[in-house]
Amino acid sequence: MNPHLELLDRPAPAAPADLTLRRGAARVLIDNWTGASTVPSRTLYPHQWSWDSAFVAIGLRHLSARRAQRELETLLAAQWADGRVPHIVFNPALPHDAYFPSPDFWQSTGAGRAAGAPSSAETSGIVQPPVHALAAWLVHRADPAESRRRGFLARVHPRLAAWHDYLRTRRDLDAGGLAAVVHPWEAGMDNSPCWDRALRRVEPSPPGTFRRADLDHGHPADRPTDLDYGRYVRLATEYREAGYDDRVVRHRFAVEDPAFNALLIVSELALAAMARELGLPGERHTAGAAELTRALVDRLWDEEAGLFRVRDLHTGTPVDERSVSGLIPLLVPNLPQEVVRRLHATLTGPGFGAPATRLVPSYDLTGHAFDPTRYWRGPAWFNTAWLIERGLRTHGLEQDADRLRTGFLTEAGRSGFAEYVDPSTGAARGTRHFSWTAALALDLLSADAEASAPRASGLKESGLKGSGLKESGPKGSGTKEAMP
C-alpha cells in the first residue's frame, strides 16, 4: 500500500465534516513532504523553516510519530556548534534564485565557520522562536514506545538544551534575563508594527542590490514593503560580516519579544519533562522557566495596556504597539492571576476580538498601523491562534478556547489552509496549502490532541511545583496545573 495513502486512512473518530477536513490537512502535509522534512509552501517557501517544522511535527504526530520525529531531527542536524538552530535549512537541489535571501547571501559555511555553522548544510545565520522542545515532547507523548525504541529523546534532548543555552547566554544582550532577537525575521512576525521604531535606525540596502523572489508568488499588498525588505537585508548583511558572532557585532536592531520568550519558557518546561523521562535531572530547566517568567513579567508586562510589550534594548523602553505577541504569554502556566485576568480581557476586547472569524488579529484592530491584508500588520494567523488556544486551556478558560478552536477549524477549511486570513472577513491571504495551518488543524481535530482537551498532568509532573512562582488563573477559572 502507498504509505502516503496509509497516512490519509489512519482511523480518527470524528464527524464526517471533520473527517473531510482531516483528510484535506493530511494531504497538504503529504504534498509538502520532501522525504526528510516539510516545506511550508511548495511555491513561496521551498526550503525547511525552523519554527514551521516544529508546528508541522505537532500535527504530523497524529499521522506518523516516526515522520514527526524525522521532521525535527532533520532540522536539528543543521544546528550550529554554538547552539543556535538556524531559521532556514536550504535544500541543495533547488536553484539559489528559488528564494531570497539565498544560500549565497547567508554564506553560512564560510562567514559562519567561527560560530560553528555546519559544513554539510547551507543555512541562514539567524534564528526563529524556540517552540522546538515543546514540539519534541508532544511528539514523544504521541507514541512513547516508538520514541523510546528509536532513542528519539536521547538524541534531541542535548541539542535542544544547547539551543536554549545559546538563547539564555549569547542572546541575553541586556543582562535582564530574557533572550533578545536581533532581526525582525527572528521573532517570526516579520513586519509587525512593533519593529517600526527600531527599524527607522537602520539604513536600508538599495533596492538594486537584491531581488525579492517572494513577489514571484506573493501579492505585493500582502507582503512587507520594499523599504522594510531593504532594512532586513542590511541587518542580515551586517550580521554576516561580523561572522554571526553575537559577542562582536553591534546589533542595530535588538528587542526582547514577549512571544519569543514565552515559547522559551514553555520549552524549558518541556526540556525538564524530557530530562525526567531520560532519568536525568531536570531542575535547571524548571528553575530556568521560573527565572524567565519573573523576567518576562518584570520587564515586559504593561498593566495599563493589559498585555506584554516588546522592549527596545537601544532605548531601554517598551514599544507602544499592541501586537498578538503580547497575548501569547498566556501559554505560560505560572503567571500571576491578575496578569491572566487582564490578558483575557484584552483578548476578548475590541482590539483583538474579531467576531466574524473568531480568530486573533496579529495587530490591534483599532490601532493606527492596522492593515487587514499585509502580513503581520493585521491578518489573523493560524499558528498564533493555536498558541493562544493552548494558553486559554492552560488557565482553565475552556469556553473561550472552544470558540477559538471552532474559528480556527472553520477558517482553515474555508480558506484552503491559507497562510493567514483577513480577521474581519475571513478572506484567504498569502499562500494556500500552508503546512503549519494544516498541521495545527490536524492537532485540534485529533481526539487525543493536547490542545483541545484539558491537560491530565499536574504541577508535579511538569516540574512547576515548588518553582516559587504564584499559581495563575483568574478567580474561579479552574486553572489547569499543567505540563505545557
Catalytic residues: 190, 419
| Distance in angstroms (rounded) separating the CA atoms of residues 89 and 112 | 14
Helix (H, G, I), strand (E, B) or coil at 45: strand
Report d(CA 328, CA 343) in Å as an integer: 9
Write the CB contacts of 423 (distance below 8 Å, at least 6 apart in sequence).
354, 356, 357, 359, 360, 361, 365, 372, 378, 379, 380
HSE-up of residue 214 (Cα within 13 Å, Cβ side): 18
- Other Cβ atoms less than 10 A from the Cβ of 10: the count is 12
Of 374, 451, 455, the C-alpha closest to 419 is 374
Annotate 367-405 with DSSP letters as a single string.
STT--SSSTTSS-EEHHHHHHHHHHHHHTT-HHHHHHHH
Residue carrying C-alpha cell 473568531: 358
**In terms of DSSP bridges, do strands 420-421 and 428-429 run parallel, antiparallel, or are they unpaired?**
antiparallel
183 neighbors 253 (Cβ within 8 angstroms): yes
What are residue 323's DSSP bridge partners? 363
SS3 state of residue 443: helix
Q: Which residues contact 120 (CB under 8 A, 6 or more apart)?
A: none
Q: Tell me the CA distances in angstroms from 194 to 326, 353, 455, one per residue in order.
A: 10, 19, 33
Residues 460 and 208: their CA atoms lie apart, in Å, by 57
Q: Which residues of 190-219 are buried (b: 16+ CB within 10 A; e: fewer)?
A: bbbbbbebbbeebebbeeeebebbbeebbe
Q: What b/e readout covers 125-153, taking b as 16+ CB neighbours within 10 angstroms?
A: bbbbbbbbbbbbbbbbbbbeeebeebebb
Burial of residue 284 (CB within 10 Å: 0-12, 13-18, 19+) is middle
